[in-house]
Amino acid sequence: MDFQLSDEHRMYLDTVRKFNRQDVLPIVMELERKHAFPHELIQKAWKLGLLNLSLPASIRGYDVDLVSTALIVEELSYGDTGLSTSAMCNDLANAVIAMHGSAEQQETFLRPFADEPLLASFCLTEPGAGSDNSAMTTFIRKGEDGNYLLNGEKCFITNASFATQFTVFCKVGRPDGMMVACLVIPHEWVSKSEVTAQPSGGRKIRLPHGGTVTTGKPEDKLGQRLSNTATVTFEDVVVPEGWIIGNRRLGFQYAVDVLDYARPMVAAIGIGLARRAFDVTVEYTKNRVQFGKRICDLSVARNTLVAMWKKIQLAEAILMKAAWKVQQKAVDRGMFASLAKNAAAEAALFCSAEGLHLHGGYGFMTEYEISKLARDAHIIDIYEGTREVQDMIIGRELV
């Protein structure tokens, strides 16, 4: 097995590292304090080709393989995981269209993202259906004119306040139905001014075909403050047949396919954060003197640094295997995607917590980046399936 990066991989990494060094890291703490959405950084990342990595060659002009995608997302996350979460959400929302949409749907719904730095939202989670997606109650029913009407509420939706397109999973026929559909509410109804605004509240938009989409006030979160999160409510939204992706009865399988793709990306986010926590901690302990020695020269501190490094290396090895498995469509790709997600979340939590500990009292001060990283880390253990859900997936596959 060849562990050497290709020239293409190195090109991607060099691009993202330069972007982090010049554009992200110098301002990320100030943006975080302001809870400001990083529109300019999103636009620069798009120009550099770091967004919409799941777009097929027919739209983008070239493919980005999953291993390359994982490397790009990891490096973006080294700069800030809120930024990478917003960027990755585009792929979460659009991958299902690339996987199961018709050529016409791909042209209609994906082409705008190749042409402009737009954002999309993936609408799966509901107030009463977090880990248990089968409990969702958002649904579509067919009207007399042949179109469908969509009603329901989604929560914790990334990019919701700025999305020009929503990918929505919903029940078919009634809220307690068994079949799940995947559909797209397309981009035409969002004005350019709304895409670049900084919302203080929600918005309610009437759609040309009928119905409304309402987004709530942006959530005030513990961490990842550079990403936007809000509720989305659909009220009698008219859904033409062409907005339904694939078979309207197979939405649950489509969601599984997307999450298998997404979980290595979440793992990459966690590893990027863990690496950043490790690096800022090493730098701090090299310069901080206690008991007449640099902290990094004290055996107890050095043992902690070694443990942090080991967590990162193990998680990264698992991530690369998971990305390769998903890329090859291996039958056991789901369990390795879950394993990578859990290992990376553990690395992120451990490295940020131990890094804060080695900073001592200074780590508790918000001016130090390690305090931000410690807050950001917790969501990695939760979104796209908690650690318990990942263990359930692995356990099911084992037996």
Which CATH superfamily does the domain covering 252-398 fall into? Butyryl-CoA Dehydrogenase, subunit A, domain 3 (1.20.140.10)
Coil vs helix vs strand at 183: strand
Residue limits of CATH 1.10.540.10 in the chain:
7-115
Query: Does domain 7-115 correspond to CATH entry 3.40.50.720?
Result: no
The pTM for the full model equals: 0.95
Residues of the chain with CATH 1.20.140.10: 252-398
- State the greatest distance between any 2 C-alpha atoms of the chain, in Å, as a whole number: 81
Fold designation for 120-249: Butyryl-CoA Dehydrogenase, subunit A; domain 2 (2.40.110)
**Is 384 labeled as catalytic in the residue annotation?**
yes
- Residue 7 Cα distances to 4, 14, 52, 320, 327, angstroms: 9, 10, 21, 17, 19
Q: Where are the CATH 2.40.110.10 domain residues in the chain?
A: 120-249
Q: Token pair for residue 328?
A: 């090859």
What own/partner pairs with CB < 8 Å and gap ≥ 24 does 337-340 have?
337/259, 337/260, 337/261, 337/263, 337/264, 337/267, 338/263, 338/385, 338/389, 338/390, 338/391, 338/393, 338/394, 339/390, 339/394, 340/263, 340/264, 340/267, 340/315
Catalytic one of 316, 354, 384, 388: 384
Residues facing residue 153 across a β-bridge: 233
Locate tokens 């396919």: which residue?
257
Tokens (6 digits) for 234: 């659909």
pLDDT tens per residue across all 399 residues of the chain: 567 888 999 999 999 999 999 999 999 999 999 999 999 999 999 999 999 999 999 999 998 999 999 999 999 999 999 999 999 999 999 999 999 999 999 999 999 999 999 999 999 999 999 889 899 999 999 988 888 999 999 999 999 999 999 999 999 999 999 999 999 998 654 555 555 555 667 888 888 889 999 999 999 999 999 999 999 999 999 999 999 999 999 999 999 999 999 999 999 999 999 999 999 999 999 999 999 999 999 999 999 999 999 999 999 999 999 999 999 999 999 999 999 999 999 999 999 999 999 999 999 999 999 999 999 999 999 999 999 999 999 999 999
